Structures are given as structure tokens and as C-alpha cells.
Amino acid sequence: MPTVFIKTYGCQMNERDSEAVAAQLVAKGYSLAPTETVADVILLNTCSVRDAAEQKALGKMANLAGQFRRTRRDVVLGFMGCMAQSRGQGLIDQLPDVDLVLGTQKFHRAADYIDDLLAGRRQQIVDTAEEQGSEATIREHLLNGSTTSVPVTAFVSIMQGCNQYCTFCIVPYTRGQERSRRIEDIVAECRELVSKGTREITLLGQIVTSYGKRDYPVRDDKSAFVQLLEAVHEIEGLERIRFTSPHPKGYGDDLIEAYGRLPKLVESAHLPLQSGSDRVLKLMHRGYTRTRFLEIIAKLRAVQPAMGITTDIIVGFPGETEADFEETLSLCREVGFDNAYVFKYSLRKDTPAAEMPGQLPVEIIEERHARLLGLINEIGGRKFASLAGRTMQILVQGPSHRNAARLEGRTRCNRIVVFDGSERHHGQLLDLKITRAGSFTLYGDPAILNLD
């Protein structure tokens, strides 16, 4: 059977979609190629959040087309995901050697379409149409045969789409309106994963805290999302629950209190800020203020003092003044984020922000990006260094990404810890004594571990 190579750009939702498409193809007899050079099918799962991500994918596909159309014309080349959704037929017009363009509601069609292309039944396929019920179609995971071991951690998609319409963001246009899966289906998927060895589940959605608002009424003062957390929490054998990405508007008292009463819900919150300026937040259509954001942080730390808090911040939004930027810097100092993903504003066609006055020069955006990144690294570095000497529990995920001879795991507050261990520790919960901190990485001393 043919071999498939998938390259993923962008967020964890894209990673999860790629995993599901790969599992779908493996189930039909395809095998996963170790590299693109030996693959019969090459799929690029694309991101549209920033122009740089689109340009990387376009450049990559142009190189692949130039390479394979000279040597192996039968290789199927395809785009999937957000850029495929937004550009559609335009991708084939731009790159005529592309065979497949698959939108965000059509991942479950991938295997059938690839079969048709390989068999010569169709020459090119573009499918970006909406499809009712698509949120419930993809649930496959790479569990058997296609991986060396059962995943210790797994992503589970709970919804598709976004209704927030932040003025800088193209996601509502590429992912569509919010559509939530049934609680019963999500729990069944999680239970199946746990039965095969998964210990930690991360629930995924564009805005997970908006889950089920139209489908599940508030019950006992608990939102649909908290009801889902409670249902997943009941799964025997599951050790940890995470979720991403939420929206500050979704952090009601019911969710904040859940951190204190659901032991499997780890003390880690990724809470996108985007700006510390109320004026810019309003232009962004974020729906909260600086004061409200700080209130949420204070409540979270009151429930879980060791809460690890990370965020997303955009610098250089249209009209952002130096005073606005200073508001962001001061909020970062006040919160003391463990880490932050700092993005340069990227103009996205057909978003309201693209038409706003006050588009900033690249030089100003670059300078502010560097300044904020320096502050985040300084704050995060101090926080990580303060953990030396403490004992922390980790879930061992596997070999370290930087040194395969060592193992790594994550603390409950989502910090990576590297230590010397062996394969038998894979998937275990271990208490490590932290001896030192690197750049956003902790190190445990194996001499102090009880590894027998």
C-alpha cells in the first residue's frame, strides 16, 4: 500500500487533525513514511493565523512540486486545513501541480479522496464546503501499529469553529461557527484512550470554554464546559486533565472553583491576554478589560497558589501606541506569567483589523516584540530558577526532545523536567527533586529519585 507523509503547521488543533487523518489512512492500509522523499502522498496541514505560516506552506509545496514533478509525477500533493479552507481553488490556480485541497470540515474525506487520486479516478479535488456534523466525524488516534508505544498524553477535540470574531483573527472564517460534540461521545473517546494506556487528556477547541453553550443548559450553576470536565474526571485510570485554548470571558466562578475540587484538573491555565491596554482590547473585540483579566488571575491563584499561567500576546496591533504597549508590559510584570507566546501582528485579508487606520511600521513591531520577549524571558527565568530544590511530580512522556538518552515529563503546572531514567518509567507519575533550571526547562537529579 502507498505511504503518506503529513507536515503540520500551526496550533494543537492542527496537530490533532493531522493525527486523525494519519490514523484514518493507516486504518485503510496506508503506512506512514518517515520522510517526504519516500512518500507516495504528501499532505501539508496549513495555518492561516499569520502570513508567515501561509508563506512557509506555499514555499514548501512549490519546492515539493518542483522536485517530484521532475522525478515522480505520480506522487499526490495536497493542502489541508485553514489555508486550504480560505484559499480553496486559488491554491491550485497558484500551484497547478497540487492534487488535493481539503477544507477544515472535510478531514474525514481524506482517505477516500486520496484513493480516488491514486487510482486515477479523479485528477484534482477541491472540497471546502461546510458539512453538518463534521465536528463528530474525526476521532481516530494513532494507537495501534503506527506508533512505537501508546501515547501517554493525547489530544481530544471537543468542538470546532469560533464565534468570537476578534478583529485580528481569520479563524472564524476558516473553521466556521462553533459546533460542539456530545459529552457522551467525548467521554467514550477519552475512556478508550485511557484503556489503551493514555494517562493525560488535553481537551481541544478554538475556545474550549464556549463548549456546548447551545446544547447543554447551565445545571447546578455549572456551565456546559464544567459539566464536561466533571464527566471526563470520572474516567477510571485517567490521571490528568488539561484544556486549551480558553477565553477569559469563559472563566466564570464555576470553572475557577473546578480547579480546587477536581484533583485530575491540573493547576495550569493558558489564558490569552493579547493586550494589556483596554483601548486596544476594545479594538480587538476581546470582550474583557485589563481589570477583569487581573481579577481572573487573582481568583485562580487563590484557589491554586501554584497555578502555572501562560498567555498569548500580540504586539503592533493597528493603532497601538507606546502608552498602550507600556500597559502590556506593566500587566506582564504584575501577573508574572510563567511563559508567553509573543506574536507580531500579522495583517490578515478580510479581517476588520486589516482595514483599521494606524497600521504600524515593521520596525516598530519588531522593536516592541523584542522588548516584550526580553521581559517575558526575564520573568519566566526567575520563576523557573526559584523551583530549584523543590520536589515536583511529573508524568513521564518519553525521551527528551533535545537528548534522546534522557527522559522528560511535565509537572502538573506544565513545566518540562528532564532527568536520567529508563524505558520502564514511561507513563509513570514520579516525584523528582529539581536541581537546576535552564531556559524554560527544569532538571531532576536521578540520585535523589526512587526509581527502583
User: Which residue intervals of 46-182 are DSSP H helices?
Assistant: 51-71, 81-87, 89-94, 110-119, 171-175
**Whether the bond into 210 is cis, omega within 30 of 0:** no
DSSP 92: H
Res 452: pLDDT: 47
Res 136: pLDDT: 72
What is the spatial distance between Cα 10 and Cα 51, in angstroms, rounded to a whole number? 11
Residue 27 exposure: Cα atoms within 13 Å on the Cβ side: 15
What is the spatial distance between Cα 417 and Cα 397, in angstroms, rounded to a whole number? 10
Positions in the chain short of pLDDT 70: 138-150, 446-452
Write the DSSP assignment of 9-35 as a string of letters.
-SSHHHHHHHHHHHHHHHHTT-EE-SS
Enclosing H/E stretch for 193: helix 183-195
Q: What is the identity of the amino acid at 272?
A: P
Nearest to 153 by CA among 424, 434, 408: 408
Task: Provide the 10 A C-beta neighbour count for residue 273.
Answer: 24
Res 156: pLDDT: 94
**207, 164 contact by CB (below 8 A):** yes
Res 424: pLDDT: 82
Show the cell assigned to 354: 486589516
What is the spatial distance between Cα 359 and Cα 342, in angstroms, rounded to a whole number? 18
Res 208: pLDDT: 97
Res 422: pLDDT: 82
Show the cell assigned to 334: 504584575
Show the cell assigned to 106: 472535510
Q: What is the identity of the amino acid at 346?
A: S
Q: Which residues of 393-407 are buried (b: 16+ CB within 10 A; e: fewer)?
A: ebbbbbebeeeeeeb
**290, 327 contact by CB (below 8 A):** yes
